[in-house]
Structures are given as structure tokens and as C-alpha cells.
Amino acid sequence: MIIKENFEIKNLTTYKIGGIVKKVFFPETQSEFSELLREQPDAIVLGSCSNILFSSNGFDGEVILTTELKQFEIRGTHVFASAGVKGPLLSQKTAEAGLSGFEFMIGFPGSIGGDVCMNAGAHGQSISDYLTQCCLFDKESKEIVYKKKDELDFSYRHSLLKSGRYILLHAEFDLKKGTPEEIKSLIDRNMEFRKNIQPSLAHPNAGSVFKNPEHDSAGRLLDKAGVKSFDLPRAKVWENHANFIVNKGDATSEDILTLMVMMYNAVKKQYTIELKPEIIFLGDKTEKEEELWNILSH
């Protein structure tokens, strides 16, 4: 297992933001991963870091990265995937096997652990649709447990894993058979949509900044509130979609939080709606960052 000390986490985040982490572990097997979780109960567990804002102040602790947990298997319609398997890869491989259900993941930079935790979804599909059970590490009992789909409390951008007690080791799915033409058509449509509506990772970003409020769209509210004009020296709201923030080059976590609060306040002032962050903020926060994050997450 690779272990790195004083590791610059920003190189692994899609925002390209984050300070020095004291120690980072890269487990390669499920047994290494679960053993680490027993030994390092306070470690932050991360996957693709695609919806993460990591503090530029760094983290004086341990991080476990699942990027080397790449094992997956397709047997008939049954799919097994370890926490670190990339969503786009699984989308591609299941499509090649004539299986439908993961087309929405083709443009997601996330991995299965994070996708299940946040019940990732798009275009009318979500990862919980075809999930049958999860193998989890229970941080309270320090044991490996299995939970069926109906025990995982799935809802919009939410699952039982959000509580922090459980960490995904692997997930199992039962997809449906589809024709190659239908699957390819859906994948192509999803790719085209993402290309037109969302910034590519050539413009460092962490996906949607805020969750959609019930029966509405965060992007619509932000657009109507005029946030597309918000442009700071090192970060800006993306001009093609108001629910994305782009790192212009050397932005800090404080820059992103400042912009998020500006966006939040604009919608609150115009619509009295308090948007909830979809981005997760981690690391050792400065006093200013704590203050900004408290506004967004109260």
C-alpha cells in the first residue's frame, strides 16, 4: 500500500484546490481498506474528489483515498464494483455488455463510493435505481456489514452513508438488458448535454454548487438572481450555467466560499429561498472559512 506524507491534495481534486495533508493512504484491497478504517477512525475518506472543496489550509490528519480500489465484475445482469471504480468506466463497460441503467454516469467524474453516498443521478436515472445491496464498514462496531437497498434511506442526493457511520467497501447492482443502439443513443445524448450545459474539467470545477430545492432548479433561481455576472479575481460563476463555479487558475478555498455566499445571498434576497450546498467542504478551516461555511450550512 502506498502511503504519502505532507501530500498536496489539490492535485487530486477537480477544483485543483487544497492544501497539504499530513498523511495519505492508498489501499489497494478491501481488506487493506477495512483495516485502515479500524486503525484510523478519524481519517477522511475520499474517492475522486469531484464534489469536494478542500481547504487551502490543508489537513493536519489522515486521508484515505479509494482511487486504487478498482475491482469490478459483470456477471449477466449482475454488477459488482469496489468503492474506487470510476463511474464513466463502469458506464462504458456495462454498455459494452449490453446492460442499461448506468448511462447517466458517462460524464460523471465521480467514483462508486461517492456516487452511492450522495445517490448521484441525472437525466431521470440515479445510482440507487438498480442497486441491490452494499458492503459497508460500520465505524461504530468496526465490523463489515451488508445492507439491502431498502435499508439505505435513499432520497434526492442522500443516503444512509451521509451520516458518516458507514463507509462503502463495494456495491452490487442488477441492471437491465438493453439494445446496443438504445444504450449508445442514451450515452451520446447524455454526453452532448453535459458538453453544452456544464464546464469540462479543463475549467476546474466541482460540479453543481447547490442542490435543487424541492420542485425547482437551483440553476434557474441563480440565473434569475443574476449571479452569472459574479466574477472574482481568481474564481467566477460559469457564464453558461449559473450553478457552477470555475477556478480561474489559482483560486483558494476561501475564494470559492466567498462566491458561494454571494450566490446564496442573491437567491435568498430575491426569492427568500436558502439554497443548500451540494459541494462538501473538508479540511482544517480558517476562522474566515468557518464563518462563510456556517452561513451556507446552518
- Angstrom distance (rounded) from CA 129 to CA 154: 10
For the segment 8-41, what is each residue's pLDDT rounded down to a tens digit? Answer: 999 999 999 999 999 999 999 999 999 999 999 9
| Residues 6+ positions from 27 with CB-CB distance below 8 Å | 1, 33, 36, 64, 66, 68, 69
Q: Are residue 190 and residue 78 in the same domain, yes or no?
A: yes
Does the pLDDT value for residue 190 go beyond 90? no
- How sure is the predictor about 51, in pLDDT bands with cuts at 50, 70 and 90? very high
- What is the span of the domain harbouring residue 234? 218-297
Active site residue 278: yes
Both 57 and 96 in a single domain? no
Cβ contacts of 89 within 8 Å, gap of 6 or more: 72
- The residue from 28, 32, 35, 278 that is catalytic is 278
Q: Cell 458492503, residue?
A: 135
Instruction: List the strands of the sheet with 59-65, edge to edge.
Output: 2-8, 20-26, 59-65, 44-46
Catalytic choice (34, 100, 157, 159)? 157
> What's the pLDDT score for residue 91?
95
Q: Residue 125: its pLDDT value, please?
A: 86
Could you tell me which residues come within 8 angstroms of residue 292 by beta carbon, excluding any fewer than 6 positions away? 254, 257, 258, 260, 261
Q: Exposure of 75 by Cβ count < 10 A (0-12 exposed, 13-18 middle, 19+ buried)?
A: exposed
55 and 149, same domain (yes or no): no
Q: What is the pLDDT of residue 10?
A: 95
CATH number, domain with residue 160: 3.30.465.10
Does any domain span residue 179?
yes
DSSP secondary structure code for residue 153 in this structure:
-
- Measure the N-to-C terminal CA separation of the chain; round to a whole number of Å: 39
Choosing from 55, 82, 128, 208, which is the catalytic residue?
Answer: 208
208 is catalytic: yes
Task: With 0.95 as the threshold, say if the pTM is over it.
Answer: no
Pair 113, 168: CB distance under 8 Å: yes
pLDDT given at position 65: 97
Q: What confidence tier does 62 reach under pLDDT thresholds 50, 70, 90?
A: very high
Q: Is 55 a catalytic residue?
A: no
Domain presence at residue 210: no
At 276, which CATH number?
Answer: 3.90.78.10
Residue whose C-alpha cell is 471504480: 85
Q: Is residue 209 part of a domain?
A: no
Give 147's strand partners: 134
